[in-house]
């Protein structure tokens, strides 16, 4: 025992709910991706026709040469 009379045993502690909900400025994932795509379009990193939201759960994105180059699975 290096630091006096204390034991070297640590009491266990189990958190019942260990995952906290994150803080976000977006209402949901769809809102985040809509803003992201609009930002990419405004910076001309995506063409206006490269991405289109069909509804709040579905977006179509063209496989441009830039995206294809990033895709390492092909």
Q: Say what the pLDDT of residue 4 is.
A: 64
Domain segments of the chain: what residues? 47-74
Residues 6+ apart with CB under 8 A from 48: 41
pLDDT tens for each residue of 12-45: 888 888 888 888 899 988 999 999 999 989 998 8
Residues 6+ apart with CB under 8 A from 24: 32
């Amino acid at each position: 025992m290096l630091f006096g009379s204390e034991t070297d045993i640590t009491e266990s502690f189990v958190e019942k709910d260990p995952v906290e909900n994150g803080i976000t400025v977006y209402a949901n994932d769809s809102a985040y991706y809509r803003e992201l795509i609009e930002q990419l379009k405004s910076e001309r990193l995506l063409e206006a026709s490269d991405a289109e939201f069909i509804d709040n759960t579905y977006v179509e994105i063209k496989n441009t040469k830039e995206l294809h180059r990033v895709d390492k699975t092909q």
